[in-house]
Structure 1
Amino acid sequence: MLTVSSRVQQTKPSYIRNILKVTQQVDMLSLAGGLPDAELFPLDILAQAAAELERSPGIFQYGATEGLAELRQWLLGDKHLSDDVLITTGSQQALDLIARSYLNPRDKVLCEAPSYLGALQVFDLAEAEVHTVMAELDGPNLAQLEQQLAKHKIKLFYAVPDFQNPSGHCWSLSKRKAVASLLAKYKVALIEDAPYRQLRYQGEPLPTVSELSSYAAFYLGSFSKIATPGMRVGYVKANQALLAPLKKVKQASDLHSALPMQMMLLATVRHPLFAEHLTKLTNAYRARRDYLAALLKQQLKGELTFEVPEGGMFIWARLTRHNAILLAEAALQQKVAIVPGDEFWPSNHTADYQAIRLNFTALIEPQLEQAVIRLKKAIQSCSPN
């Protein structure tokens, strides 16, 4: 029998991707995935964008690895003339391309703990050695960050500064500047993942860490949360020298991302009503965030603690007396899906506390209410008599 590679064997499967089969049951309510609400997709705009494709038959031909020129120009604008952009099949592919381009086995990567599990999978597959720095409410612990950078020969620092997955934290301006300065001091490249940046419900937008950086930085963008994830259009922005190896790897990987989807995406974000769609989307998600937060405080007081995030898709709740994995199993028995916090730590680390991640964007308010009722029953079933 054909032997699976060691890198695949050591890579932990995605809890969320595996649980999708369960969450597709008709009577299951899911707080697990980072899903946008399909009912809020800009369907009228997408229909017009799709209709435009037939007027450009060449869009169904092979294309450049870098992506559709018009979309790349729209993303670049006129701000950073030394920058370049590579269109990818979702921003997850951008992560994979960076890892395959720059990481050798046992190279050291630093990320916040907890961290996005999709990134942890990529680093496992690259056979990297993952180190962590604790995530605080306003960004990474700076003392720990400098200690890690000084102690280890870190090659890449991966972070989600805007409404981090899973914690929902948003870095302060002072920490953004401090991190940029430390990375430059120790010559460590930044991977800034920003899929939730446009889902801000309060406060003012802050500059990206990449904009503040004077050393190597990759900025990953996505349209999955604000347009539709099924189009699978993402991008990575960096200077041309940094992107050159990624283009080579992408050539060998999939030649280029689907041109019709790129053209549809460009027509969608350029549409005069897309800004109105974004306003509607953020208003709806803000209301759901507030509703879920109120429910948790009313129904589960004493069982968990959390901060209300300023944006994004998740509430990160610390459990006061239960094991997250056991609670997730009990929750499935009550027909509600959650993600235990242990999934967001690297495979060679142990979670420092018990927590669960709860998504508030995929369900409407009556469903959120029912989901919390079911979660309460799950907690009660885990509690000693």
Structure 2
Amino acid sequence: MLAVSKRVKQTKPSYIRNILKVTQQADMLSLAGGLPDAELFPLDILTQAADELAQSPSIFQYGATEGLTELRQWLLEENGAAEDVLITTGSQQALDLIARSYLNPGDKVLCEAPSYLGALQVFDLAEAEIHTVIAEADGPNLAQLEQQLANYKIKLFYAVPDFQNPSGHCWSLSKRKAVASLLAKYNVALIEDAPYRQLRYQGEPLPTVSKLSSYAAFHLGSFSKIATPGMRVGYVRAKQALLAPLIKVKQASDLHSAQPMQLMLLATVRHPSFTEHLDKLTNTYRTRRDYLAELLQQQLSDKLEFNVPQGGMFIWARLPHHNAMSLAEAALRQKVAIVPGDEFWPSNHTPDYQAIRLNFTALTEPQLEQAVSRLKKALLQCSPMK
């Protein structure tokens, strides 16, 4: 039998990706994955964009590793950035390219706790040493952040400042400035992941941390939440010198991301009706967020503690009396899928508390009502912690 590499052995599988197989059962309701609602995909715009591909036969040829020139120019113009941009196969690939370009085994990476599971997997595969800083409602604990930066030779700090996955937290302006200042002080590069930035339901948009940074910074963007995830078009924006190693790794990885998808994506976001689509999307998701929060408050306020996020896709609910993994198993028996909070901590860290992540974007209001009813039954069947 061919031996599996050490780095694969030490990387824990994605609970969320694995549970997607279960959630495809016809009678299963999922509050688990960070899925957009397929019924809200801009199909009319996408159909027109797909038809236009036939008018550009060269788009089916090999392309530049950096990505489609027109899409890259549009991204830089939209963000007013005096940087460069690399198109990637989803922003997840951008994370992988950064890790493979800049991390050696044993290098130290700092993440918020809890943190995005996909990032933790990437850093595990890179054989990095993961450190954590507690995620507070308005951003990372600054005293703990500086302590980590001062005491350890941290190379990269990974964060999701806008509607963090899984907690839904949004960093305040003061913490964005403070983090940027601390990273510059200790010469630590920032990876700012921003897949939910355009899913804001209240409050005013805040500047990205990467724009406030005076030291090395990568800004990761995605169209999976606002267009379609199946197109797998993402990007990483940074100074040209920072992107050069990523381009080399991508050349060896997949040559370039799919050109037809890039052109379709560009035609979609440029379409006059795309702004209207975004408005419909955010209004629908806002309503679902409010409805799920109301259901949880009415039916489970004695068993869950949560704050309503200003945007994003998730409600992060703490469990004062129950074990999250046991509840997740009981929930599956009731035909509702949730994600236990343990999955969002590095494998060598113990969670400070029990929690579950609940997605509100993929289900309609009647489905959310049924899902919460099933979750309530699971909680009643699940023994409290002693």
Q: TM-score under structure 1 normalisation?
A: 0.99
CA deviation after TM superposition for structure 1 residue 82, in Å:
4.2
1:328-339 matches, cutoff 5 A:
328-339=328-339
Equivalents in 2 of 1:72, 1:191: separation in Å? Answer: 19
CA deviation after TM superposition for structure 1 residue 78, in Å:
7.8
Q: Is 1:166–1:344's contact at 8 Å kept on the other side of the alignment?
A: yes
What amino acid is the match of 1:360?
F
Instruction: Return 5+ residue gaps in structure 1 as ranges.
Output: none
Pick closer, same or farther for the CA change 1:81–1:365 going to 2, 3 Å. Answer: closer
- What SS does structure 2 have at the residue aligned with 1:64? coil
Match of 1:378 in 2: 378
Structure 1 ranges of 4+ moved more than 2 A: 78-82
Equivalents in 2 of 1:80, 1:288: separation in Å? Answer: 33
Equivalents in 2 of 1:49, 1:240: separation in Å? Answer: 30
Match of 2:33 in 1: 33
Match of 1:155 in 2: 155
CA deviation after TM superposition for structure 1 residue 113, in Å:
0.1
Match of 1:138 in 2: 138
CA deviation after TM superposition for structure 1 residue 77, in Å:
1.2
1:1-385 matches, cutoff 5 A:
1-77=1-77, 82-383=82-383
Q: 1:203-229: CA deviations, max 9, x gaps?
A: 000000000000000000000000000
Q: Is 1:302–1:320's contact at 8 Å kept on the other side of the alignment?
A: no
Q: Identity of paired residues, percent?
A: 86
Equivalents in 2 of 1:190, 1:173: separation in Å? Answer: 16
Pick closer, same or farther for the CA change 1:79–1:370 going to 2, 3 Å. Answer: closer
Q: 1:144-191: CA deviations, max 9, x gaps?
A: 000000000000000000000000000000000000000000000000
Q: Is 1:82–1:240's contact at 8 Å kept on the other side of the alignment?
A: no
CA deviation after TM superposition for structure 1 residue 71, in Å:
0.1
Equivalents in 2 of 1:382, 1:99: separation in Å? Answer: 40
Pick closer, same or farther for the CA change 1:270–1:79 going to 2, 3 Å. Answer: closer
CA deviation after TM superposition for structure 1 residue 301, in Å:
1.6
What amino acid is the match of 2:261?
M
CA deviation after TM superposition for structure 1 residue 320, in Å:
1.4
What amino acid is the match of 2:42?
P
What amino acid is the match of 2:16?
I
What amino acid is the match of 2:77?
G
Q: TM-score under structure 2 normalisation?
A: 0.99
Equivalents in 2 of 1:79, 1:275: separation in Å? Answer: 16
Equivalents in 2 of 1:355, 1:26: separation in Å? Answer: 27
What amino acid is the match of 1:132?
T
Equivalents in 1 of 2:96, 2:225: separation in Å? Answer: 20
Equivalents in 1 of 2:54, 2:185: separation in Å? Answer: 52
Q: Is 1:285–1:361's contact at 8 Å kept on the other side of the alignment?
A: yes
Q: 1:24-83: CA deviations, max 9, x gaps?
A: 000000000000000000000000000100000000000000000000000011865641
Instruction: Return 5+ residue gaps in structure 2 as ranges.
Output: none
- What SS does structure 1 have at the residue aligned with 2:221? strand
- What SS does structure 2 have at the residue aligned with 1:39? helix
